[in-house]
Chain A
Amino acid sequence: MSEQFDVIVVGAGPAGSAAALVAARAGLKVLLLERGAYPGAKNVSGAAFYGSAILHELIPNWWEQAPVERYVNRRQLAFMSATTSVTVDVRTTRFAEPPYNGFTVLRPKFDRWLAAQAEAAGACLLCATVADDVLREHGRVTGVQVRAEQGAIKANLVIACDGANSFLAKRAGLQREFHQHEVSLGVKEVIGLDEQTINERFQLGGDEGLACEYLGAITEQVRGGAFLYTNRDTLSLGVIGQVSSLVAEKARPYELLERFKQHPSVAPLLRGGTVREYSAHLIPEAGWHMLPKLRTDGMLVAGDAAAFCFAAGLYLEGINYALQSGFAAGEAAVAAHRARDFSAHGLRFYEQRLRERHVTTDFKRYRHAPGFVNNERLQNLYPEILAAGAERLFRVDGRGKKKIVPVALEVLRRFRVSPIQLIRDLWQGGRALGW
C-alpha cells in the first residue's frame, strides 16, 4: 500500500473505532486495521458496557440502532463462602431511563456495529490484517508494518488500540513487559436459555438486565472474582484469576469456572441452559501502576493497550474507558492535524483530554484499589466472615438472641482475625475506595 494516511488506528475494538470515528468525522484520512476476520472476532469482555452516556455524545440515541442485549437496571455484588452468599442488590428504575447507565452486549456484534459507524464516518476498515510493528524514521513513528506482501503502511499518526497484549506499545518503547500480578485471565461461557426463563428467573421485565459480580470463595485461594450478566436469551458468566495466583495455586481457570457454576447459589440460575461458547482473554488489572507512556512522536496508545481497564472491586469496567480514551485520541489527532504537528509535543492534547474525560484522573484516584482488592483477606477471609456472620445472625436454634456486636466479635474470634490487621485493612480499604 503506497497510500499515505493521516491516521492509522490499529485494532477495531471500542477504543479504535471511537478514535477512527472522531478523526474521520473531522475529515482526516483514516485507516482502521483489525486482525480478526471481523471487528469483535478476537474480543472478549463480560460484557457489561457502562459507557452509554459517553457513546450518546458520539452517536445520539445509539441504543436505538446498536445490537444491545439488555439495559442494566439491577446490579448485585455477592460475597461468597463455599455454602453461603451475601448479596447487595441495587435495583432502580433510574437506570432504566435514557441514556441508561449500562447495557449488556455481545462483543462480536457490538464491536462490529461500532466499527461500521467509523466506516460510515469515512474511515477505511481493513480486517484480517495484523500489524506486527511500527515503522520508524529518525526516531519517530511513521506507520505500521503489517503481515502482508507490501508490508509497510505510512501515516502521520499511529493510534495503537491493539488490546491487552499491545505489541505496538512495546515495540515503540511505550510499554514494558507485564508482571504476573498485574494481569488476570478471564474465562467465560455464554449459556443459552430462553428469554422468558431469564425474565422469570432473574425477575426482569422485557428489556431489563442484571449485572452481578462475585467476591470470595468462588475462586478458592486464587485472587480474582466472578461475574454473571443477563443477555436477551443467553447468560454471560465467567471467572477471573490473577495470573501469578493461578500459577502459585496450580489452579486451572476452566476448573474454577466449573466449580463456580456448581456453587449452590449459582447452579439454580443456570439450570436447563446449554453452553453456546467458551472464551478467554487477558485483563490488565493493575490500573495506574501499569499505565504506559501514552504518546511519542507520531503515536498514541488507547484502550486496553494503554491498560485503561478499571478493576477496583466495586467496579469492573473497561469498555467505557476504551471509548473515552479512543475519543480523546481521535480529538488529539484532529488537533495535531490542524496544527500540522504530530510530534509528542503536538500530541500533548491527548493527555489533557484524558484528564478532562476523567480517564487518567479516575485511575489516579483509585490507584490503591487494585492492590487492596487483591489483598488475600479481602479475597477470602472477609467474604467468609460476612457469610458466617449473616448465617449466625439469621439462624434460629433455640439459643438466646445475641445483638449484632457480640455476633460480630464471636465470628471475628472464630476466624482468628487480629484486631490490628482488621483496622489496617479498614484503613487501606478506605484509602482505596473511601476517600
Chain B
Amino acid sequence: MVTNSSTETTLADKMRTVQFNVDDRPHIVVHAEVCRGCAVQACVYVCPANLFVPLNDGGILFNYEECFECGACYVACNEEGAIEWSYPRGGFGVTFRES
C-alpha cells in the first residue's frame, strides 16, 4: 500500500541538508568499553542522525560531527558513564537555517 512520493529521501539525503560547523573538539565522548557490557544499546536506535554504530566486539563507534545536540542518546543510555555529554563550544555544531 506504499505510494512512492517524490520527496522520499534516505538519511544521507536528509543529512546533506543540514549545516554543521564542526568543532575540532568532540562535545560527546562515548566510552566503548562500557558499551560492551550493554545488551540494549538504545543509542543505536534513538539517534536521529544514526551516529552510533554497533561494532562486532560489542562496543559502539561514535562520531560527533553531525550531531543535532538533541540529548536523546543521553536520556536513552542506561549504562552509567558510557556517554559524556555536553554542548559544542559556542557557535559550533548544528546550525539550523529553515526549521
Residues on A lying within 8 angstroms of B by beta carbon are: 35-37, 40-45, 47, 82-83, 106-108, 127-130, 132, 147-148, 164-165, 167, 178, 180, 183, 185, 187-191, 234, 236, 243-244, 246-247, 250-254, 258-259, 261-262, 264, 267-268, 270-282
- Asked whether, in the complex, the Cβ of A279 is within 8 Å of the Cβ of B68, the reply is yes
Q: A36-B95, A106-B99, A277-B98 are in contact. List 14 more A-B contacts (CB 8 A).
A: A127-B91, A128-B90, A180-B75, A187-B48, A188-B99, A236-B99, A243-B76, A258-B8, A258-B9, A262-B4, A273-B7, A276-B17, A279-B96, A280-B70
The interface centre, meaning the residue of A45, A83, A147, A277 with most chain B CB atoms within 10 A of its CB, is A277
How many residues from B make CB contacts under 8 Å with A?
A: 44
CB-CB < 8 A to B45: which residues of A? 246-247, 250-252
Measured between beta carbons, the chain A residues less than 8 angstroms from B87 are 35, 130, 132, 167
Which residues of A sit under 8 angstroms from B91, Cβ to Cβ?
Answer: 35-37, 127-128
Check if B3 sits within 8 Å of A252, measured CB to CB: no
Residues of A within 8 A of B11 (CB): 254
A44 CA to B96 CA, complexed, in Å: 8
- Mark each residue of chain B from 51 to 76: 1 if its CB lies under 8 Å from any CB of chain A, else 0: 00000000000000000111110111
Residues of A within 8 A of B29 (CB): none
State how many angstroms separate the Cβ of A111 from the closest Cβ of chain B: 10
- From residue B36, how far is it (CB to closest CB) to chain A in Å? 19
A188–B68 Cα distance when bound, in Å, is 12
The minimal Cβ–Cβ distance linking A181 to chain B, given in whole angstroms, is 10
Q: Can you name 22 A-B residue pairings with CB atoms under 8 Å? A: A42-B95, A44-B99, A45-B99, A108-B96, A108-B98, A130-B87, A148-B90, A178-B75, A185-B72, A187-B48, A188-B99, A243-B72, A247-B76, A250-B45, A267-B5, A268-B3, A274-B7, A276-B17, A278-B15, A278-B17, A279-B99, A280-B70
Contact between B99 and A129, CB atoms less than 8 A apart: no
Min CB distance, A23 to chain B, in Å? 22
Q: Check if B49 is an interface residue, CB within 8 A of chain A.
A: yes
With CB as the reference atom, state the residue of chain B lying closest to A111. Answer: B96
B residues at A contact (CB < 8 Å): 1-9, 11, 13-15, 17-18, 21, 40, 42, 45-46, 48-50, 68-72, 74-76, 86-91, 93-99
CB pair A246 B46 closer than 8 Å? yes
With A40-B96, A130-B89, A180-B75 as contacts: A264 and B1 at CB distance below 8 Å:
yes
Would you give the shortest CB distance from A385 to chain B, in whole angstroms?
19
Residues of B within 8 A of A148 (CB): 90
Pair A281/B98 contact, Cβ less than 8 Å: no
A299 to chain B, nearest CB (A): 19
Query: How many angstroms between the C-alpha atoms of A189 and B96 in the bound complex?
Result: 12
A132 (CB) vs chain B CBs: closest residue: B86
A40 to B99, CA, bound (A): 9
- A254 touching B70, Cβ below 8 Å: no
Residues of B within 8 A of A278 (CB): 9, 14-15, 17-18
